Structure 1
Amino acid sequence: MKSFFEKTSYQELQERLEQITENSKANWGKMNGAQMFNHCQAPIKIALNKSDVTMKSNWFIKMLFKKMMYSPKPYKKNAPTPPQFRSTGNFEFQKEKAELQKWMDELWADRNNDNREPHPVFGHFTKEQWGIMNWKHLNHHFEQFGV
């Protein structure tokens, strides 16, 4: 499984990000490109402990979904998004793209961190799991936009 923390995988994500333009259309889902960029920032901020999103931990949700977060199985198209992570507003494409790039750069710079705070819903993840989850989420949405 690829990881955000592997140099070649990170570089691939960078290249794919650059290929998404204002004219790129989603192959599924309701988000436009700017909304997708905004949405993709949230999990990265959580990994960096810089998120202000509040969520309740639920043992059932944790048991049901935690392993799916970093398993090799791709996320399903049109899977429901928790309300805290929905990006439905009007966002400026270039600004959100630059913000996502900034957060990606910050997480890359912090890639050797072995002591991340627990995820607010799913609890502790290893460094390897954080890397897989972040790659998997970005890959899912970049594929959504055809790259």
Structure 2
Amino acid sequence: MSGIGPITQDWEPVVIRKKGPNAAAKKDEKAVNAARRSGAEIDTLKKSNAGTNKAASSSTSLNTRKLDEESENLSHERVSTELKKNIMQARINKKLTQAQLAQLINEKPQVIQEYESGKAIPNQQIITKLERVLGVKLRGKK
């Protein structure tokens, strides 16, 4: 093995430089400034969603248009006037407070209050409990 010297490693640091992220913007800026100096007419445009992860605005405008065109009035079914009067009358006949009635059917007093004020969304299970405790048929014909 004559002619081959000892193997050595080169430990010199190697520095690799990348161009900064604004290099392209600086070139554009230089071109715009040069054009301004020469007296040329320049049109600049700012892109509002450029480089972001936002969806195109066309899809949101379609949804907005659909909502605007929607004329149907959507709301939940509420307790009927007849039902709320029947509950109140039966409770008073049994000499119960709203809180006592709520305790008997294992519900919060607020539930009875909402039913008697007509704000509640009718729940057949609660109405059945009320009928059983009050001993009165609240739905349909008496």
TM-score range, shorter chain: under 0.3
Q: Name the structure, 1 or 2, with higher relative contact order (CA <8 Å, separation 6+).
A: 1
**The structure with more radius of gyration:** 2
What TM-score does the superposition give when structure 2 sets the normalisation length? Answer: 0.22
Higher helix share: 1
